[in-house]
A = this chain, B = another copy of it.
Amino acid sequence: MGTKERKEREREELSGLILAAAREIFLEKGYEQTSIRNIADRIEYSPGTIYLYYKDKDSIFHALQQEGFSRFGQQMMVLQAVADPYERLKAMGRVYLKFAKENPDYYDLMFVIRAPMKVLDDEECWNEGQNSFNFLVSVVAECKEHGRFACCDPEELAYVIWSTLHGMVTLDIRGRCRVVSDEKREDIEERGFKALLHLLSHI
């Protein structure tokens, strides 16, 4: 008899329901407003039930972070169509900035908020981030094989490129971009990205 299998299926169903509710509230009202009680209310279960499916609040956000990386990965798929490595690198930057602009809350969860990282103990690997970074490093390395960035270490250059884009995005997301003059603020990330490409094209 398949009662065991059914039970397992039901377990995963509620676990998925909890995550769906968390995602809804998170995307509707943001991180601060996503509480265990809010999630419980939405699925009409008691708060305690949530702890039968997730260790704590942080692990719910870790699950949402993984969803974010999944979306992110899908968006990056378009890069497979770009043959030239340097063109692929440029397209990658644009996809990165587009993802951040369209999913600022997911971006925050993936790269800024501490909560989802707390479930990883000190030296445990952060797989999702690692894969994304490795991919960037590999693209930079390919550029190098094609003659670009001859004097640079791929990992170091990847890190600098990532830092620049991440810096632009977080200055925006966390409200620090108002220091930029009015006429440039609206498209400052686009301007910044072009300036970065300009720098990269001269080495």
User: Which of A's residues lie within 8 Å of B, judged by CB?
Assistant: 111-114, 117, 123, 125-126, 129-130, 132-134, 151-153, 155-157, 159-160, 162-168, 170-171, 174-176, 178-181, 184, 188, 191-192, 195-196, 198-200, 202-203
Contact status B164-A160, CB under 8 Å: yes
Known A-B contacts A160-B164, A164-B160, A167-B167; the reply to A126 vs B178 at CB < 8 A is yes
Q: Which of B133, B134, B179 is close to A130, meaning CB atoms less than 8 Å apart?
A: B179
User: For A160, what are the chain B residues with a Cβ–Cβ distance below 8 Å?
Assistant: 164, 168, 192, 195-196, 199
Would you give 29 A-B contacts (Cβ < 8 Å), ordered by A?
A111-B176, A112-B170, A113-B174, A114-B174, A117-B174, A117-B175, A125-B178, A126-B176, A129-B176, A129-B178, A129-B179, A130-B179, A132-B179, A133-B179, A133-B180, A152-B195, A153-B195, A155-B181, A156-B191, A157-B195, A159-B188, A159-B191, A160-B199, A163-B164, A167-B170, A170-B170, A198-B203, A199-B203, A202-B202
User: For A132, what are the chain B residues with a Cβ–Cβ distance below 8 Å?
Assistant: 179
Please report the C-alpha to C-alpha distance between residue A166 and residue B163 in the assembled complex, in whole angstroms: 8
Contact status A174-B111, CB under 8 Å: yes
How far apart are A53's CB and chain B's nearest CB, in angstroms?
25
Please report the C-alpha to C-alpha distance between residue A157 and residue B164 in the assembled complex, in whole angstroms: 12
Please report the C-alpha to C-alpha distance between residue A192 and residue B199 in the assembled complex, in whole angstroms: 14
Known A-B contacts A125-B178, A175-B117, A176-B111; the reply to A167 vs B157 at CB < 8 A is no
Contact status B167-A155, CB under 8 Å: no
